């Protein structure tokens, strides 16, 4: 018998460091080809928004490791005449 929703307790929260570790592990399991397709889909979805259509400047980041790679987004945005802002790290300073 499945318990009724009103009688069920919400799941206990996961401590942030553990949640981050589990997320990173899960991301590493995604095959590179699939990760590339997912990154392209993220870029496509962002570009399809009204906010992106009217934007002159886009802020982003350079992907490291298994992070979402937004190069498709940056290239398409630049081809539309937009400017791109990326953080720059100089030693221990974020500029």
Q: What is the pTM of this model?
A: 0.70
pLDDT tens digits, 18-64: 999 998 999 899 999 999 999 999 999 999 999 998 899 999 998 88
| Greatest CA separation for the chain | 59
94/90 Cα distance (integer angstroms): 6
| 80 DSSP 8-state letter | T
Structure-block tokens of residue 20:
């981050």
Local confidence band at 84 (pLDDT 50, 70, 90 cut-offs) = very high
49/65 Cα distance (integer angstroms): 27
Q: Where are the alpha helices (DSSP H) in 29-89?
A: 32-47, 50-53, 71-79
């Amino acid at each position: 018998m499945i318990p009724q929703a009103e009688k069920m307790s919400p799941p206990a929260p996961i401590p942030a460091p553990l949640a981050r570790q589990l997320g990173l592990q899960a991301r590493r399991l995604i095959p590179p080809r699939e990760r590339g397709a997912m990154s392209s889909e993220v870029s496509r979805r962002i570009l399809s928004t009204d906010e992106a259509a009217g934007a002159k400047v886009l802020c982003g980041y350079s992907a490291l490791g298994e992070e979402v790679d937004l190069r498709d987004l940056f290239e398409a945005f630049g081809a539309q005449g937009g400017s791109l802002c990326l953080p720059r790290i100089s030693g221990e300073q974020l500029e």
